[in-house]
Amino acid sequence: MPAEILETTPRRALVTGAAGGLGREVAIQLAARRCAVAIADVNAEGAAETARLVREKGAEAETIIGDFTREGAPEAAVEKVVVQWGGIDILVNNAGYGVIEPFLDATYKSWTRTLALNVTALAMACKAAGRVMREQRSGRIINITSPGSRMALPDYTAYTASKAGVDSITRAAAVALAPYGVLVNSLAPGMMDTEMQRSTEADLARANGRNDLQAFLDERTRRIPLGRRAEISEVAEAVVWLCLDAPKYMTAERLNMSGGLDKD
């Protein structure tokens, strides 16, 4: 489209796992930047609340309720965005799953569930959006990874392995789509105050025989060079920067936002 049309047309975004936490904040901040936002999640009530908050910013919102681990679900979500708004300009793969489980006691069910959502569903969403963006010759995909993808965490191996997969998919998709002007990057946030983070750390404390949860949390926080946990809003700001403002020559990159915990 001509530049003058692009400047006045709301950018069309799909954010997965947007019923709460980081995904919700990303959706709200994108709405504040004049983006139409599709909110994908299994939590219908949470997704509806995110949609309400998006509309409060004066932006269009759609909800897509379903389990992305089901075959065809990621592609159907992308198709719904394309049908609704005529294309897709932004995909934020934020949905994630993980459980604390000692490596030697790992179950097939939890391992496959983790990889199904964090790796397979993400890859299929990248593929579906990437095909549309290839024809548009524009678009940005941001995958949420983790500092854990580079760490040996025997109580969290399925999750860290899945995030290493996210890193690999990001690089491969970036190279595949680069000839068409489509940018694919990832962001690795550190410890945040989200429902998933709280649940994970409570389970981790129990697995390590730590009865004083607050003392355990404080100990983990002290490991962060900046000495505090990330605010969800500031992590979302970085995601939105990748969506809208990052240089057009930046692709296949991993942006670390862990307060100095991940130093590569």
Sorted by sequence, the CB contacts under 8 Å of residue 64 that are 6+ apart come out as 14, 38, 39, 40, 41, 47, 77, 80, 81
CB-based contact 127:227 (threshold 8 Å): no
Please give the backbone phi and psi of residue 228, each rounded to the nearest 5 degrees, phi first. -155, 165
Alpha helices in the chain (DSSP H): 3-8, 21-32, 44-56, 73-85, 108-115, 122-136, 157-177, 195-207, 213-222, 232-240
Whether 180 is a known active-site residue: answer no
In whole angstroms, what is the distance from residue 186 CA to residue 124 CA? 16
Nearest-CA neighbor of 12 among 37, 34, 45, 29? 37
CB-based contact 18:27 (threshold 8 Å): yes
Work out the widest C-alpha separation in the chain, in whole angstroms.
61
Nearest-CA neighbor of 18 among 33, 31, 34, 3? 31
In whole angstroms, what is the distance from residue 139 CA to residue 64 CA? 20
Active-site annotation holder among 97, 108, 156, 159? 159
Query: So which residues are the catalytic ones?
Result: 159
